[in-house]
Structure formats: C-alpha cells, structure tokens
Amino acid sequence: MFQQMQYFISIVKNHSFTQAAEECNISQSAISQQMKELESRLGIQLLNRKGRSFEVTEAGQYFYTHSQDILESVSQLIENTVKIVKPEQVELKVGYLRNFGTTEFLKTVSQFSKSFPQVKINITSGNHEQLYELLKNGQVDVNFADQRRALSNEYVNEFLTDSKFMLAVSRSAFADERTQMDVSELADIPCVLIADKEQREVDESYYREILGVKSEFVLAKNYDEAQIMVASNQGYLIVNDRTQNQLDAEIIRTVNLFNGKQQMIQKYYAYWQADNSGYYIESFAELLKKSFLHK
C-alpha cells in the first residue's frame, strides 16, 4: 500500500497520470491500475475522472495530505533502524544545562557510552535560551534543561525531576530566621541576575512573567560574582535546592521561595523535536530519566 500511496501523491502533485508515471518509472496503464486497486481497497473514490483530466475528491485531498506525513515517518523509521546496524557515522548531539550539577548527567553519558560505544556523543552546555535555539535549529538532537515555556506537541517532553526555588540572601540581610519568604516581599530589594547583556532581556521577562519578580535587576557575570553581591547585601539571588550547594553556607543562607501560598517549583525535562525522534535519542533520555529515579 505504501507504493500505491507514493503513486497517488505523484499523480496529485503533477496533476497528470502521464507525468506521474514518468516520475515513478512505471507505465501509464500500470499506474492507472494501481490507483483503481487503491480506491477498491479503500472502498471510496479518491479521484473524479473527467475524460483525460480528473479532480481530487475531498477524501482524496485528505488522503493526499496525510499520506505524505505517513511516508515521511516511514522514511525516518527506516533511516533510524538502519543506523542501529550501520552506526559507523552516528553522532548524538546533546545540550546540557549549565550550572545544574553534573552527577546524573555524567552517569548517563557513561552508561550510554558503555551501551553504545559506536555512537559519538557531542555535548554542548548553555543556558535555557541558548539550548532552545540550538535544538530549534537542529544543532543539537536532545536537550536537558529547565522548563520555561508551555510544553509543545512539536517536541517530545520527558519529565526528569523538579527542585524547589530558593531565595539566597546574606545572613545579615534579615533579622528573623524565617524558613520561607514570598516573592512579593522582595519588591524593594534588587534581584541579582546571572546573564550577559544579550541574554538579559529574555531572563528578565522570565523572572517577571513566570516567577513574579517585581524587583529591579542587577547583573552578575557568573555565580562567584553573584555570590559576592549577595554577601555584600547588594541584592538577593534566586536559586533552587540543587544549585544552592554552590553557595558558601557560612555567609549566605537560603529559604524556600513562595508565590502566594504556593511553593515555587522548577521542573527539568529532556526534550527533542518530535519529528527527529530516534533510537539513540530515546535511549539517552531513558537513561537520564533512570539516573534521576535512582539518585
């Protein structure tokens, strides 16, 4: 049936049995017979024939559109299957979220390399937006990053873990020893943002619209600079219960960050383009998921 679908697509695309027959290297009588057999198999008319011309029926238009999607998926399936047996040129390009911490990721890379020694792993680190652009442009195959957008059907989204958002402040910043604080209480205190000038606008938008930050922003180039600014009471830093370990606990303390009565949570996913899913991408994501389940 796949072959008949290809013939039908060629006929509709060329709007000609003659040209379709030439394109498919088959005789005109043979391609006409194949169309009759396809319509008989489906039990419907795909083409309304009018002498030497024809019109595509409504059902035929639907079949034409979705046949192309199916054949593209079959081609991708065949390509990915062949790569398993003939993997000499296989490369897996993985995007990794900078500053997350490497334990689970390194474990996954090690296990994957052991299971698939024929696959070369190319790793690129970056922040969320950098990794998103690389994935969107096909420069990485699969990303490990935090969630900053609504999940899209254009991507396969594999949930990995979540972390509580924390507020990092100098130990001398507040007189009380509270264990939680609402983001609305921080409006008069600057928020330290670790970003370059090009990234600032995107990150500020995320902090404003998603996290509900009302504070003005001050920029830090890296974690060390941000920590110095927090320690000297120049502002607060938003971290989570993973990245808080990078802070000096003797100088800086962390408390749970709330928005209203809700503890703020940061979620992490492995995600890749749905039309680029393959055996090695899925295997890497599965190993990464297991590394978080068994941490």
Q: Which two tokens stand for residue 128?
A: 């969320």
Question: Which distant-in-sequence residues (6+ apart) come within 8 Å of 262 by Cβ?
Answer: none
Angle at 291 between CA 223 and CA 161, to 5 degrees: 60
Q: Class assignment of domain 91-161+267-293? A: alpha beta
Rounded Cα–Cα distance for residues 215 and 168 (Å): 15
Half-sphere exposure of 24 (CA within 13 A, CB side): 26
What confidence tens digit (pLDDT) does each residue in 147-198 have? 888 888 899 999 999 999 999 999 888 877 788 999 999 999 999 998 877 7
- At how many degrees (to 10) do helices 279-293 and 103-115 cross? 140
Instruction: Characterize the bridge pairing of strands 53-56 and 47-50.
Output: antiparallel
- The reported pLDDT for the residue numbered 229 is 93
The token pair at 2 is 């796949």
Q: CATH classification of 163-265 is 3.40.190.10, yes or no?
A: yes
| Pair 40, 4: CB distance under 8 Å | no
pLDDT at position 129, please? Answer: 87
Asked if the domains at 2-85 and 163-265 fall in one CATH topology, the answer is: no
Highest mean pLDDT among 93-102, 118-127, 279-288: 279-288
What is the second-level CATH architecture of the domain 2-85? Orthogonal Bundle (1.10)
Domain positions in the chain are 2-85, 91-161+267-293, 163-265
Q: Is the pTM of this model over 0.75?
A: no
